[in-house]
Amino acid sequence: MSKVVKFGGSSLADAKQFMKVAEIIRADENRRYVVPSAPGKRFAKDTKVTDMLYACYDLAEQGGEYKEALKAIKERYQEIIDGLGLKLSLKEEFEVIDENFAKKAGRDYAASRGEYLNGIVLAAYLGFEFIDAADVIFFSDKDGTWDGEKTRQVLSRRLKGCKNAVIPGFYGSLPGGKIKTFSRGGSDITGSIVAQAAGVDVYENWTDVSGFLIADPRIIDNPRKIEVITYRELRELSYMGATVLHEDAIFPVRQEGIPINIRNTNAPDDEGTWIVGSTGQKSKYVITGIAGKKGFCSVSVEKDMMNSEIGFGRKVLSAFEEQGISFEHMPSGIDTLTVFVHQDEFIDKEQKVVAGIHRNVRPDTIEIESDLALIAVVGRGMKSTRGTAGRIFSALAHSNVNVKMIDQGSSELNIIIGVDNKDFETAIRAIYDIFVLTAI
Ligand code: ASP
């Protein structure tokens, strides 16, 4: 049995947090490979080291005075080092960083130093080997995407003879050696990549919550936790705005069938949430989770006999494509087709899209509605339960929410509901109540 453990920024924000992390790692010798983020916020109004680095580098790039900002970053690490009682000096590291900032080595390089330095500190504290992610995680110079093949080869070879190691998250290198980062929150991806390359049994992702919640706690008081969720369910929920884990972190481990366990550094005895490929385990409730987003427009196109006109859908969508607008969702009826788009992307191009649809399909009518929200109700349990859509309808009717659209995906894994922005919270509460609070 072996595990990769990734710790987020809040888990490594200061020396006290570092001590909790070390205790967690030492409590289980299977926790062999450790992926740290950069130090996060110590309190609500604090600044993450990654953001400090971006700001500092921007100053350097504009030829401004950045030394003070760099000093403040150095102090954050020094505080951790002193708090842990370590005899470690980052003096040379900071000299190199200073030189590279002056040479304008790039924003990605700058941001990556947060994880790099935290990795050095954590490795020293744990007595583990430090492996620079630039030597084992690679991006392709063609399109800048992650080079899975090369990474797997080099990283698995590197980890083979290595019992314990710290590999900083968030970055890797391009073929010439230039540093490149993943998008924000990308240490989750590194954890998944290391788990895949090492072929471990579990990828533990330690953060500051005890797993995924069934619904957003800003809308529902004390929502219950999701115990087990499948990769597919999670994908549906995160696409709709639920965040705990970086979306792209799912893919590397999913290929190997390695489960992810989301855990809480501040409550290490909590079981957290398990993310798995498939499970025979019934979910506790019919639904696994609810998520949603506000700020959509719907464009409904109606035309008699539309369903027998070959290429109708494609022609409507090409009017959006021509304006560079991606669509979010597209339910259709017999003679109508509705396209949901992000309002802020759409608004400026509205008339051009409408003209394009007229040109492409000569519709009878086009109706546009704005200020809409989409809610996804997701759950593997829906497949074997009758009447889920009906229950949603009646719960929403009872709460006086007008349902603009309801669409059940063919996988029976999700139901998407469109409501007015103003009804968004009420609708989520109504759905949560009926499926979770009053579940039988
Ligand atoms: N430190 C980076 C960020 O703040 C990456 C990460 O934490 O995963 O986005």
404-416: pLDDT as tens digits: 988 887 777 889 9
Q: Which domain holds residue 75?
A: 6-200
pLDDT in tens, 142-182: 888 999 999 999 999 999 989 999 999 999 999 999 999 99
- Check if the beta carbon of residue 122 is closer than 8 Å to that of residue 36: yes
35 CA from centroid of ligand 1 (Å)? 12
For the chain, the average pLDDT equals 94
Distance CA 132, CA 40 (A): 20
User: How many folded domains does the chain comprise?
Assistant: 2
Q: Is pLDDT at 438 greater than 90 in this prediction?
A: no
> Lowest mean pLDDT: which of 104-108, 186-190, 305-309, 346-350?
305-309
- In a domain, residue 233? The reply is no
Per the rule left: phi > 0, alpha: psi between -120 and 50, beta: everything else, 314 is: alpha
Pair (56, 189) in one structural domain: yes
C-beta 112 within 6 A of ligand 1: no
Residue where a domain terminates, one of 144, 174, 200: 200
Ligand 1 pocket, residue 363 CB under 6 Å: no
Distance CA(219)–CA(205), nearest Å, equals 25
Q: Are residues 37 and 141 in the same domain?
A: yes
- Tell me if 182 CB under 6 Å of ligand 1: no
CA distances from 230 to 234, 306, 348 (A): 6, 37, 38
CATH number at residue 157: 3.40.1160.10
Whether 365 has a pLDDT exceeding 80, the answer reads yes
Together in a domain, 177 and 308 = no
Burial tier of 388 (Cβ tally within 10 Å: 0-12, 13-18, 19+):
buried
Q: Ligand 1 centroid to 113 CA: how many Å?
A: 11
pTM score > 0.95 for this model?
Answer: no
Nearest Cα neighbor of 293 from 408, 394, 416 is 416
Give me the pLDDT at residue 440, please. 62
Domain boundary among 200, 218, 252: 200
Does the residue 205 lie in any domain? no
Mean pLDDT for 31-43 is 97
pLDDT at 330 exceeding the cut of 70? yes
Give the tens place of pLDDT for each residue, 173-200: 999 999 999 999 999 999 999 999 999 9
Distance CA 27, CA 97 (A): 35
Q: Do the Cβ atoms of 288 and 214 come closer than 8 Å?
A: yes
Beta carbon of 133 within 6 Å of any ligand 1 atom = no
> How close is the Cα of 241 to the center of ligand 1, in Å?
18
- Domain stop point among 151, 182, 200: 200
CB atoms < 10 A from the CB of 370, how many?
15
Q: Which residues contact 122 (CB under 8 A, 6 or more apart)?
A: 12, 18, 21, 34, 36, 128, 166
> Sorting pLDDT into bands at 50, 70 and 90, what band is 267?
very high
Q: Which of 6, 170, 179, 205 to mutate to test the pocket of ligand 1 (most atoms within 8 A of CB)?
A: 170
Same structural domain for residues 184 and 318? no
Asked whether 185 lines ligand 1 (CB < 6 A), one says yes
